[in-house]
Amino acid sequence: MRRFPRLLSPLDVRGVTLRNRIVSTAHGTFMSEGGLPTGRIAAYQEARARGGAGLIIHEASSVHWTAVGAGRYATCHTDACIPGYRAIADAVHAHGGVVFGQLYHPGRGDIAGSTSDGSIAVSWAPSPVPCERLQLMPRAMPTALVREVVAAYGDAARRLRAAGMDGIEIMGHHGHLVSQFLNPRTNLRTDVYGQDRLRFLMEIIEDVRAKIGDAAPLGLRIAGDELGFLGLPNAETVEICAAIDRLGRIDYYNVVAGSCSSFDGGIHVVPPMAIAPGYVAPFAAAIKAKVTKPVIVTGRINRPEVAEAILAAGQADLCGMTRAMICDPELARKITEDRIADIRVCIGCNQACIGHGAKGAAISCIQFPESGRETGLGRPKTRAAQAKRVLVAGGGPAGLKAAAVAAERGHSVTLYDRRARLGGQVRLAETLPGRAEFGGLADNLIHEAERAGVAVVLGTAVDRDLIDRVRPDAIVVATGGRPYWPHVDGRDSGHVVHALDVLEGRANVGASVVLVDTRLDWTAMGVAEKLARDGRRVRLAVTGHMAGQNIQGMVRDHWAGVLHGLGVAVAPYMRLSGIDGAAVVLQHMVSGAVETWADVDTVVLAAGQIQATELEDSLAGFNGDVHLAGDCLTPRTAEEAVLEGLQAGLAL
């Protein structure tokens, strides 16, 4: 008997058979060029189809010139897009997959205003109500433009169908144009589109249906609750779906949460790991109770157990497992083959998937850098021409990935770690509040290394003696770093501790804490939360614009809310000038003004790490390949560690 009978059962949507209930919901890959789909995107989607996804909804594609952003965002508002989408549809079909296209217009939200040349474009919306998150004042769409855009949805759908997409999904969610028309707080119009706020969506549905014919499924993506300032609440969304359902034109509803229009709603657009798996299901259930067609639910469904439970409870008919398949394109196949332990579970870190979008880089995954690199580093691995004896020094993300890849390629690999447990810095990172799932990164890599046949030696630091005894053909140095102590007057006082010591439970922390953050990443935010939850008074001095400046926006915004709620006082633009007993002297990084914070029991320095180069320095005269990966090169993040581990494993 199958463990996930509901998740693996097929479903018919207007005559199109989905082989299971596992959906890769639409997600920008940031790999378009000049707004047009590329071969890299086709290879990316092909990998998910090969991996067995039941339905792939291809990324948002702009339907009209008023919806166009920078070139890496996809468009479908001219016929020039058709060959690129055809290549994607063909690639998915070649593996028995089903792919729908998604129709997108941001209105005043999301990519509104962004252009390829860096200037700010006019953003269009139902009414001139600014978007809090983008601080943009949009321009009200004249009625004639509204009608033109309605027709553009239908024309775009026709193009996607002509390219071979099996169905079409309309974006009615995330605070984009359709939801701006639906929302009485953003649609203040007095014309027909204001008198009846559903009219814009209903006209789009009619126009799309007329232009794609009766054969193709047509879906509506909608936020079950926008969960943010001036967003559409669940009660209003449920009524909207009920009204749309009465039209009888929509074949499925795809329920998410959140909105790009506000900071609080924005967190839910790609919910970070601090948010519970499957939390959107109750919103989906409320909609499902009012509609006659299947409902997809999406939001942190990262394991088949979560998905099956939602289906079993009748809260939805299909589950979006989107980052789950960015992280593991083979997810559906592994579930089908009952290889559950082999699933590389998405940890909701947002770092390399949506995080890459803000950096202008192609989509990837912190745990699986092969993702988004299907035509390069992510190509199927080949066996090494000559099997070597490989020694990997360091069992953090870089060493584990290098070892797994090298062993998979036929090398005989032994991995050493000086500690008693594999995982390196990940084992500290997972102790931060709300970040326990981060440990999954190490667990997944350990499983991959074990499966590939890597031998592991714990409690043994690698030095030159060991290398001379073992005499490997090649070495991967992945020894990471050690805490970095900045030079500052008073640093050597006993009440000055390192953030990593706090995480390791080695520091004696008093009641009143000043935390100085020179990394602007997860550590200071997490330590601040941890100490504040323990009842300490926490003041956080940040050497930059804001705490979390260097981490993904939704993760940062969520954490900023938590710290505010806990009463942590955050001071931006502050550098540490000196420590004098209970007084901490700080200097504004721009004005140069100096201020003293009094009554400090403990100063915590979140100053990151410095690279450990001892092993590398000892290798002079070693007669074999040496590869360096991760923080021992220079301390960065787990993403670079895993990527460089992959590169080392492929180079051997």
Q: Phi, psi (5° rounding) for residue 417?
A: -140, 140
25 binds, among ligand SF4, ligand FMN, none (CB under 5 to 8 A by kind): ligand FMN
Give which of ligand SF4, ligand FMN, none residue 349 binds (C-beta under 5 to 8 Å, depending on kind): ligand SF4
Least distance CB 349 / ligand SF4 (angstroms):
4
- Given a contact cutoff of 8 angstroms between Cβ atoms, the answer to whether 481 and 611 are in contact is yes
The answer to whether the beta carbons of residues 230 and 258 sit under 8 Å apart is: no
Q: Are 30 and 363 in contact (CB under 8 A)?
A: yes
List of residues contacting ligand SF4 (CB under 6 A):
323, 326-327, 346-353, 365-367
* Residue 357: contacted member of ligand FMN, ligand SF4, none (CB under 5 to 8 Å, by partner type): ligand FMN
> Is residue 270 a contact point for ligand FMN (CB under 6 A)?
yes
CA gap 566, 275 in Å, rounded: 18
For position 88 contacting ligand FMN by CB under 6 A, the verdict is no
One-letter amino acid for residue 606 of the chain = A
- Taking CB under 6 A as the criterion, the residue among 301, 428, 496, 600 binding ligand FMN is 301
Q: Which of 226, 221, 268, 260 is nearest to 244 (CA)?
A: 221
Give the pairing of strands 594-597 and 583-588: antiparallel
Least spacing, CB of residue 331 vs ligand SF4, in Å: 11
| Identity of the residue, 310 or 509, whose beta carbon is nearer to ligand FMN in the bound complex | 310
Contact between 59 and ligand FMN by CB under 6 A: the answer reads yes
Nearer of residues 25 and 414 to ligand FMN, judged by Cβ:
25
Residue closer to ligand FMN (CB basis): 269 or 475? 269
Q: Should residue 357 be labelled a site residue for ligand FMN when binding is judged by CB under 6 A?
A: yes
From residue 251, give the alpha-carbon distance in Å to each of 1, 36, 236, 621: 31, 28, 20, 68
Euclidean distance between CA atoms 44 and 374, whole angstroms: 6
* Dihedral pair phi/psi, residue 585, rounded to 5°: -100, 125
Question: Choosing among ligand FMN, ligand SF4, none, which partner's interface includes residue 320 (Cβ < 5 to 8 Å by kind)?
Answer: ligand FMN
- Which member of 322, 367, 543, 637 binds ligand FMN (CB under 6 A)? 322
> Is residue 171 part of the contact set for ligand FMN (CB under 6 A)?
yes
558 binds, among ligand SF4, ligand FMN, none (CB under 5 to 8 A by kind): none
- Residue with Cβ nearer ligand FMN (60 or 426): 60
CA dist., res. 224 & res. 207, Å (int):
24
What residue has token string 């693996």?
8
Which of ligand FMN, ligand SF4, none interacts with 59 (beta carbon under 5 to 8 A by kind)? ligand FMN
Least distance to ligand SF4, CB of residue 345, Å:
8
Q: Which amino acid is at 187?
A: N
DSSP 386: S
**In this chain, which stretch among 316-324, 336-344, 534-542, 567-575 interacts with ligand FMN, using CB under 6 A?**
316-324
Q: Name the strand (E) or helix (H) holding 542.
A: strand 537-542
**329 or 649: CB nearest ligand FMN:** 329
Least distance from ligand FMN to the Cβ atom of residue 223, Å: 10
Strand boundaries in 144-269, DSSP class E: 167-171, 218-225, 252-257
Choosing among ligand FMN, ligand SF4, none, which partner's interface includes residue 300 (Cβ < 5 to 8 Å by kind)? Answer: ligand FMN
Distance CA 180, CA 174 (A): 9
Q: Where are the extended beta strands (E) located within 138-286? A: 139-140, 167-171, 218-225, 252-257
Report the partner that residue 345 touches, choosing among ligand FMN, ligand SF4, none (CB closer than 5 to 8 A by kind): none
The binder of 60, among ligand FMN, ligand SF4, none, by C-beta within 5 to 8 A per type, is ligand FMN
Dist. CA 487–CA 508, nearest whole Å: 21
Beta-sheet pairing, 474-477 with 412-417:
unpaired
- Candidates 6, 19, 21, 27; binder of ligand FMN (CB under 6 A) is 27
Strand partners, 609: 483
Query: Which phi and psi angles does 46 have, rounded to 5°?
Result: -60, -40
320 binds ligand FMN (CB under 6 A): yes
Q: Which residues of this protein are in contact with ligand FMN, per CB under 6 A?
A: 25-28, 59-60, 102, 171, 221, 256, 270, 298-301, 320-324, 353-354, 357, 363
